[in-house]
Amino acid sequence: MTTTHSDPEVVQARPDARPGVVTRVTQILDVFFMGPERMLLNDVAKATGLPRSTASRILGQLVDRQWLEHDAHGYRLAPRVRGVASPGGDHGDLRRAAATALNDLHLATGAVAHLSVLEGMRVHYLDKIGGAAAASVPSGVGTRVLADLTVSGRTLLACLAPEYVDRLMAFAAGPQHGGGRDLARLHGHLNWIRRRRGLAFVDAARCPLGIGAVAAPIIGPDGAVAAISVAGPELRPESAAPVLASAAHRTARLLFPRWPGAGRWPAASRPTRAGGEWPAPLPRAR
C-alpha cells in the first residue's frame, strides 16, 4: 500500500512532529511534581524546552482551571493537585505501621523522629514525634523540602538508580536553589550511603544548624517506600544508627508481612564510585 504524508498515522509518527497539547501540559506539570515548589515562567520554559509564549499560555490556562497558583513569587501547584501528586493520600497504612517505631525512637534517643516519603525531588514529612525536643528541629508535618538537603531525602535517593537521580536533579534546578549543584559530589555522598546499607548521616558539627541526624529507608518489594530519621542538637548519629535501622526494619515487616525480604537492603544496591569515611558535607540537613 502506498502512503503519503497526509496519512494521519504517518504524520503522527514523524519524529519532528510538534508535541500535542496533552504532552505539553504533562511536561509542565511534571516540572512542578518533580522540581522546585515554585518556578518562574522562564524556568518552566527552560525546563520543558517549550517556547516561552507557549509555556505562558498553558500556565495561564492551568491557573484559570485551578491546577496551578500564581503570585509575585512564581507558579506552584494548587491545592486540588497536591492530592494527585501524592497518590498515597494520607499514607494511612504507612503512618500506622511506623507509629510505634517513631515513639520508641524518640524515647530511646531523646531526639526528634520523622517519617517521610519521596515525592519527585522533594521529601514530604508525614509525621514528627519529639515532645519538648520538637522545637529544636525546624521541620513540620506536611512540609516538603528538596531531597538532597535532608538525610531522609538522601537515604531515599540512594535507593534509586544514579540515572534517575540525575533526571530528578535536572527538574530541581530552580531559581531559589540554583542549577549549580555538584552532581558528582551528590553521587559520591549517595554511594557512601549505599555502602552503609542505606543509612545517611550528618554530624552536628558539619550541619549549619548544629543538628545531628541519621536516616534509614523502609524497604519493600519495589524498593524504598519511605524513610525514618532522628535528629537533634545532642544526637550522636553513629550511636543512634543501630536502633534506627531496627525501627525501619520493624516498620517494613509490619507493612509487608508476607514478603520475606521486608526491610533488607537490596544486594543490587551497590556504590558506583569510591569515597571516604565521611563524605564532604552537603548543604543543610535535618
- 124 and 80 share one domain: no
- Number of structural domains found in the chain: 2
Say whether both 59 and 162 belong to one domain: no
* Amino acid, single-letter form, for residue 55: A
Cell numbers of 118, please? 519521596
* pLDDT for res 181: 53
Identify whether residues 126 and 32 lie together within a single domain. Answer: no
The percent of residues in the chain predicted with pLDDT above 70, rounded, is: 72
Which residue range(s) make up the domain with 193? Answer: 92-255
How confident is the model at residue 208, as a pLDDT?
67
Cα→Cα distances 91→1, 45, 79, 221, Å: 54, 33, 17, 17
Q: pLDDT tens-digit profile of 240-264?
A: 889 999 999 999 999 898 887 766 6
Q: What is the per-residue pLDDT for 19?
A: 64
Q: Are 279 and 188 in contact (CB under 8 A)?
A: yes
Tell me the percentage of the chain whose pLDDT exceeds 90.
17
Q: Are 69 and 78 in contact (CB under 8 A)?
A: yes
User: Does residue 262 belong to any structural domain of this protein?
Assistant: no
| Claim to verify: residue 103 and residue 72 sit in the same structural domain | no
| Residues 63, 101 share a domain | no
pLDDT in tens, 77-89: 777 665 554 444 5
Q: Does residue 156 sit within a domain? A: yes
Compute the mean pLDDT over every residue in the chain, rounded to the nearest whole number: 76
* CATH number, domain containing residue 176: 3.30.450.40
Answer whether residue 240 is part of any domain.
yes
In a domain, 43, yes or no: yes
